[in-house]
Amino acid sequence: MSSKKTKTELVAENEAMKHRLEALEQKGGNEGRNETDHHRVTEAALGERSQVEKPTLDQLNDAIESLPISFTVYDAEDRLVLRNRKAQEFFSSFGSDVKPGATFEELVRMSVERGLVHVDQAEQEKHVQERLGEHKRNSDFSEQQWEDGRWFAAYHRQLSDGGTVCIRVDITDRKRAERELQESQRLLQTVFDAIPHTMVVKDMEGHYLHVNQAWYKFFGLTSEGVLGKTVSEMAGRRDDDKATAQKEDQLAVAGEESVSFFESTRFNHSGEKRSFQNTRARIKDEEDNDVGLVVTSLDITERKQAEEALRESEAKYRDLTETSQDLVWRLDHEGRFTYLNQAWESILGYNLEEMKGQKFTTFKRPEEAYRTLQTYKKILQGGSATHYETTYISKNRQGSHPEL
């Protein structure tokens, strides 16, 4: 059996047959074809062509019926002439009054009068006119919420005969997902802004995607001048500050650590230099690819200033104690030496390293060690001892009598 020919092939054969018959008829005689033969061949070809076209129309109808969206057609008089299964389900909300021949305006007004659409009473006529306007012109998807909570998007296109095709899609799930996403983003931003430390989220090219209020306040900038931009594109930040931030971003992209810690300095909106302890973490997608960075910065300026003041104080104290001719020392809670100044070495003759870590009683005779230990316990309990005389044994075994 021969395979079924396509419509294009049948049409081509039909045209070729007509040309051949015309040529034969011009020759006349036994070689020509009479008119009856011509019609017979032509009708046969057209019959096969119609057999191809009919299944194609059936397939089109089946396709329209199987669409998961509402599909309706209105004639030039704006009367409903075609609707698929999904459209019938949609119109079921109207009751049993929707029948072929109903106009689009009647359907819109029916949806308003029966409270099917979410429209304030004062806005009902405006709503009707807006829907009619969308219907009479080629319009992109317009969204509308129904009173039962469902959302629909409608799409209208004019046909060549003056009619209109209308597609309506149920977007309730999408709108719900969008609402949940917005609520999640609001919650995230609320938490983000409540953090007193500066925080930013960037993509791997350094564009700022999210910034908290502490960051905006520190730099004196707004979202319009920050979001979607790299630090080099921001106005209002010092050039040296930009260069430092760019270098940090480059190191972050080149590095492999998922979480890193580093210190940096920044200048705030008034030009004051501040110190920060930063934590930088990579953001991964579902395939474990790096898609961004989140950076949290803790202002440690006061801590750094306190550390510097402590270092300066310790340096002054060390100079004072090291040059003093009096014995200066520090003990831990067990009575072991943790610090001794140079006077111990010159007075007792021990190398300081010999004494560090040793209990002070090691360098006393037993009876003096016991007496001094009782005084030390008293001091540990919050007491004090002044003008207290005691004896240490020097390296040459001679007693030394320091006064406390």
The angle formed by the CA atoms of residues 319, 320 and 326, to the nearest 5 degrees, is: 125
Q: In this predicted structure, what is the pLDDT of residue 47?
A: 55
Q: Dihedral through CA 22, CA 28, CA 34, CA 40, nearest 10? A: -30
pTM to 2 decimal places: 0.52
Pairwise CA distance, residues 52 & 48, whole Å: 7
Q: In this predicted structure, what is the pLDDT of residue 305?
A: 92
Q: Take residue 12 and report the two structure tokens written for it.
A: 């081509």
Q: Where are the beta strands (DSSP E) in 12-135?
A: 70-74, 80-83
Q: What is the DSSP letter of 2?
A: P
Q: In this predicted structure, what is the pLDDT of residue 17?
A: 58
- Give, rounded to a whole angstrom, the gap between the first and last alpha carbons of the chain: 124
Q: Residues 348, 329: contact at Cβ < 8 Å?
A: no
- Write down the residue that tokens 């007496």 correspond to: 371
Mean pLDDT by 10 residues, the chain (404 residues): 53 59 54 49 51 66 87 92 87 76 89 84 88 82 84 90 91 93 90 92 93 94 94 90 87 83 91 93 91 94 92 84 85 91 89 91 90 88 83 74 47
Pairing type for strands 139-145 and 80-83 reads: unpaired
Q: In this predicted structure, what is the pLDDT of residue 314?
A: 83
Q: In this predicted structure, what is the pLDDT of residue 144?
A: 84
Q: In this predicted structure, what is the pLDDT of residue 320?
A: 82
Pairwise CA distance, residues 394 & 398, whole Å: 5
Q: Residues 385, 377: contact at Cβ < 8 Å?
A: no
- Write down the residue that tokens 């890193």 correspond to: 260
| Nearby residues of 335 by Cβ (< 8 Å), 6 or more positions away | 359, 360, 361, 373, 376
Pairwise CA distance, residues 212 & 221, whole Å: 11
Residues facing 400 on adjacent strands: 392
Pairwise CA distance, residues 245 & 56, whole Å: 64
